[in-house]
Amino acid sequence: MTIGNLEVFKNAKIYSSKNINKLKIPELKIIKTPGHTQEDICIIYKDILFSGDVIFHHGYIGRTDFPESDHEKMRESLKKISKIKYKILCPGHID
């Protein structure tokens, strides 16, 4: 998995989906959403959904044409996300 722009956040602690549970912040709800990659997660904070590369604005979804992608798992993840009530969507990037 590649994480871009890490050099911008020189003092940040970086957590992957494998160690995100080490963060003891009860306000964050972690949802496993494989599909784009096997380790994708979404994070809910109050009424904000941080969707990474799973969903984007205007109904766009993450790509599933990578070797580590799984189209069927993406469908399941999108179904899971569709049941979440959120007001603000914060995707991993704009396009």
Chain segment 9-32, per-residue pLDDT in tens: 888 887 777 787 777 888 999 999
Domain limits, the chain: 6-91
**Fold of domain 6-91:** Metallo-beta-lactamase; Chain A (3.60.15)
Confidence check: pLDDT of 85 > 60: yes
Neighbouring CB atoms inside 10 A of 20's CB total 15
Nearest to 64, CA basis, from 42, 37, 82, 90:
37
Q: Round the average pLDDT of the chain to a whole number and report it.
A: 89
Confidence check: pLDDT of 94 > 70: yes
Whole-angstrom distance, CA of residue 67 vs CA of residue 47:
33
Q: Phi then psi for 75, rounded to 5 degrees?
A: -60, -45
Encode pLDDT of 49-71 as tens digits. Answer: 999 999 999 989 999 999 999 99
Residue 74 class from Cβ within 10 Å (0-12 exposed, 13-18 middle, 19+ buried)? buried
Q: Which residue has the higher pLDDT, 7 or 56?
A: 56
